[in-house]
């Protein structure tokens, strides 16, 4: 069966015992609505968090959890053998460890070991568990074996705490999973330079002028491009997020550092994506020692000088055929005016595409989601995207090959 020309897949959704199991229901639903045949394999602990009837109603299939059920039909291997794709969401620290060790003490473990289908896992756990050396090593082992790891996202956890460990949003998991199943490597052979984060302009050895960019959208672009086969260099300015080892990272702090690194890396890049929030001005002088208030008195005058516009510089000196993508973060509330600002900016900077998003106190920066429009050189809208930063990243990348 196929829906909208997309091949219908036999998808096993493995659900393990974490609170994020309730969000697995949305993963199952999205896959079913996408026309796929979904078989849930839940651990006993997962069924403490989400009920079997819910999963059966949503998946439209029997939910399997018991290793000793269906022995005559060798169910412990049959489910895995029939699968085109296995998605484990959430994957607890315990499950991640079991997968890394190749354990098969429950139906899900057997199913995964018996399968040659692509495996996508969406870890969900407390930050301490995610950052524990055992989990870090287990995740590295799984990645090395070709397992696709989605997230985890940074955000509110079960209790009052927040940090990395929150399961990625269902739409993102489904998107990555389907892309993995399709083996989409449409950027294979492309060299992509991405800048991400926010520059910091030093005032003295301990202070800087900075901005609120977390780097999440730029990192999502770099990771998505790497997942799609590109050779990615990420110039990272003061990131608040981790970067997987599929991406080569060059760390920078100030705009002038970023300019040097970007100018050098752009010499071999086919595509340059300037997602970093770059300071327009920097202090004219940087004090050698900490600026003292007892010396300065009640008022401190700072003189700022303009930074080079790196994007405009790269666009003006581009290699033949190189595609240059800029970003514009604007606080303008009106949609039409936002677009006008973007159209003027793309022309002024000489970029091929400009990704325009709205930012504000609670919008754009450091959030999990994003809403963007993408303009071409003449200011026409060539694409729009809204959703997780990963899905926005994939949508932006979808627009690239057609624009070169």
In the annotation, is 138 catalytic? Answer: no
Give 20 or 278: the residue with its C-beta nearer to ligand C5P: 278
- Considering the candidates 211, 238, 307, 370, report the single residue annotated as catalytic: 211
**Site mask, ligand C5P, residues 216-255, x = CB under 6 A?**
---------------------------------------x
114 binds ligand C5P (CB under 6 A): no
d(Cα 271, Cα 234) in Å, to the nearest integer? 12
Size of residue set near ligand C5P by CB under 6 A:
12
Cβ neighbours of residue 206 closer than 8 Å, sequence gap 6 or more: 290
Give 52 or 251: the residue with its C-beta nearer to ligand C5P: 251
d(Cα 236, Cα 211) in Å, to the nearest integer? 14
Q: Which of 280, 334, 335, 384 binds ligand C5P (CB under 6 A)?
A: 280
DSSP 147: -
Long-range contacts at 1-4 (CB < 8 A, ≥ 24 apart) = 1/35, 1/37, 2/35, 3/34, 3/35, 4/35
Closest CA to 392 of 346, 355, 348: 355
311 binds ligand C5P (CB under 6 A): yes
| Of residues 254-273, those binding ligand C5P (CB under 6 A) | 255
194 binds ligand C5P (CB under 6 A): no
**Nearest approach, Cβ of residue 347 and ligand C5P (Å):** 12
Interhelix angle 216-227/389-403, rounded to 10 degrees, is 60
Q: Do 12 and 83 form a contact (C-beta atoms < 8 A)?
A: yes
Strands, E, within 279-331: which ranges?
281-283, 304-306, 323-330
**Site mask, ligand C5P, residues 328-357, x = CB under 6 A?**
x-----------------------------
Handedness of CA 223, 224, 230, 233 (dihedral sign): negative
100 binds ligand C5P (CB under 6 A): no
**Nearest approach, Cβ of residue 199 and ligand C5P (Å):** 8
276 binds ligand C5P (CB under 6 A): yes
Residues that bind ligand C5P (CB under 6 A): 255, 274, 276, 278, 280, 307, 309-311, 326-328
- Give catalytic residue positions: 211
């Amino acid at each position: 069966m196929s829906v909208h020309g997309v091949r219908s897949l036999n998808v096993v959704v493995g659900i393990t015992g974490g609170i994020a199991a309730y969000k697995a229901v949305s993963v199952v639903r999205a896959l079913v609505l996408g026309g796929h045949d979904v078989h849930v394999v839940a651990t006993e602990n997962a069924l403490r968090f989400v009920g079997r009837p819910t999963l059966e109603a949503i998946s439209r299939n029997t939910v399997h959890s018991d290793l000793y059920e269906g022995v005559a039909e060798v169910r412990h291997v049959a489910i895995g053998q029939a699968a085109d794709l296995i998605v484990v969401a959430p994957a607890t620290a315990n499950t991640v460890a079991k997968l890394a060790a190749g354990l098969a003490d429950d139906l899900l473990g057997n199913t995964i070991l018996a399968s040659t289908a692509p495996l996508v896992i969406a870890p969900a756990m407390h930050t301490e568990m995610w950052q524990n050396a055992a989990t870090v090593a287990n995740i590295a082992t799984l990645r090395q074996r070709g397992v696709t790891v989605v997230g985890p996202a940074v955000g509110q956890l079960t209790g009052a705490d927040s940090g990395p460990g929150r399961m990625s949003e269902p739409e993102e998991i489904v998107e990555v999973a389907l892309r993995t199943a399709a083996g989409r490597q449409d950027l294979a052979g492309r060299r992509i330079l991405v800048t991400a984060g926010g520059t910091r302009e030093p005032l003295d050895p301990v202070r800087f002028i900075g901005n609120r960019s977390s780097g999440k959208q730029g990192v999502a672009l770099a990771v998505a491009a790497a997942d799609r086969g590109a050779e990615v260099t990420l110039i990272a300015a003061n990131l608040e997020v981790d970067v997987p080892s599929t991406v080569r990272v060059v760390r920078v702090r100030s705009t002038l550092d970023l300019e040097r690194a970007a100018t050098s890396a752009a010499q071999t890049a086919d595509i340059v994506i300037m997602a970093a929030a770059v300071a327009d001005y920097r202090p004219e002088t940087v004090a050698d020692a900490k600026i003292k208030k007892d010396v300065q008195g009640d008022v401190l005058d700072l003189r700022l000088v303009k930074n080079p516009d790196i994007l405009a510089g790269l666009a003006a000196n581009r290699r033949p055929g190189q595609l240059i993508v800029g970003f514009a973060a604007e606080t303008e509330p009106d949609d039409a005016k936002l677009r006008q600002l973007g159209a003027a900016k793309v022309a002024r900077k000489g970029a091929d595409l400009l990704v325009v998003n709205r930012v504000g106190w609670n919008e754009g920066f450091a959030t999990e989601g994003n809403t963007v429009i993408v303009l071409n050189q003449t200011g026409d809208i060539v694409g729009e995207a809204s959703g997780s930063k990963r899905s926005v990243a994939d949508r932006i990348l979808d627009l690239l090959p057609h624009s070169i």
